[in-house]
Chain A
């Protein structure tokens, strides 16, 4: 009796998958390194679901119904373990600091360049993004220019210790992204920095 029921269920599923072209889809939000998650909004033909907690999941069934659920860590490992294992290593961030209104590094920051080199050696095909930042002294245009100069200066240091220049991209963020929020025209050493992402 039990065996017969099972056969019926399987046939029903087959018939169902033939009748509708919609494939089952699964979305699961994962916790970040700090254990918290961000948000993914899933939209499908007017239906909308916000996933904003670790392991919050959305499953669209073969019959087209959209339903929310929660996945377990074990389910994620079983369905996505191989895929997650292929994620590249997270970029490493280094911050170097500058002397006021100059493109010269502080002495501690000069020493930090060796750490960048060590981090690069641990990666298969490393590339580097160098982003300059300024404090809020001066106009936006002035700081855009200064931040780019700082990024280029750091690129110069990096090529000087043997990193090929075609592996390094530079950009200037000016005073758009203050590490320490301040009013305009404030001399803040911690904002005069260059961020290096090794990835």
Chain B
């Protein structure tokens, strides 16, 4: 029974969202998405998927909305990987893991964090941030700075 509902659920989620977990709403300057070995310039309206890496140049910024209303932006000279994003729109259960490798990040958490306080985690080279429903910013300094 559990197996059947899991299969039904995955079909349902697949039909609604395909592989897209978010969408680029804002971008300026030089910014790329690295996906499965390819490198694409970021444009407004572009879908974001799990495992995507957002990379910005010295003048680049990107702002993304996610399926659970999470909002996220990366500043100049930044690299952010969307490690995992899963969200069930009926139960609001899910998991959102992202890694800021360098640069700056701003986050406004969404619906899944309201449902389960530890659903969102941001990793940096030195730390793990557990997000319990809030807005915050993170900076990982350039090694040469």
Contact = CB atoms under 8 A, between A and B. Distances in A.
Interface of A: 17, 21-32, 37-44, 51, 58, 60, 64, 76, 79-80, 82-91, 123-125, 127, 129, 131, 144, 169-174, 176-177, 197, 199
Contacts of B65: 88, 91, 127, 199
Contact of A83 (B17, B64, B105, B129): B105
Contact of A125 (B45, B125, B126, B138): B45
Given A22-B125, A40-B129, A171 B137 contact: no
B125 A38 contact: no
Contact of B138 (A27, A131, A144, A170): A27
A173 B88 CA distance: 10
B134 A84 contact: no
Contacts of B44: 124-125
A30 B135 contact: yes
Size category of the binding interface on chain B: 35 or more
A39 B133 contact: yes
A118 B28 CA distance: 25
B36 interface: no
B121 to A, nearest CB: 10
B69 interface: yes
Contacts of B75: 80, 82-83, 86
Contacts of B64: 88
Given A17-B143, A169-B16, A80 B89 contact: no
A89 B65 CA distance: 9
Given A25-B125, A27-B129, A38-B109, A82 B61 contact: yes
Given A83-B105, A169-B17, 14 more contacts: A24-B141, A26-B138, A29-B134, A38-B109, A42-B129, A60-B126, A82-B76, A83-B75, A84-B106, A88-B63, A90-B108, A127-B23, A129-B89, A169-B16
